[in-house]
Amino acid sequence: MSDHADQAEQNIETFLHSAIANARRHSPLQSDGHCVFCDEAVAINQLFCCRECRDDYDKEQRALRIAGGL
């Protein structure tokens, strides 16, 4: 019985971990201390290490939107 409960708890934990990982993948504009564009370490709450990266990221996103037909 308690084994069963442990298993359920384990499943919830696994589910939460993958949900968080998914959310991270789908919202790159959430700062995690790394430049969104080049992965360089940046101050927390900073999305980009420099203006060039932000510009390049914007360009890339625009190109992706156009390529995706959105």
Beta bridge partners of 41: 34
Q: How far is the CB of 44 from Zn ion (least distance, A)?
A: 15
Among the residue ranges 3-11, 20-28, 47-55, 57-65, the one whose residues contact Zn ion (CB under 5 A): 47-55
Q: How far is the CB of 33 from Zn ion (least distance, A)?
A: 12
| Angle ∠(53,26,10) on CA atoms, nearest 5 | 130
Q: Which of 38, 47, 54, 56 binds Zn ion (CB under 5 A)?
A: 38
Number of helices (H) and strands (E) in the chain: give both, helices first: 2, 0
Cα–Cα dist 57/65, whole Å: 12
Interface residues with Zn ion (CB under 5 A) are 35, 37-38, 40, 49, 53
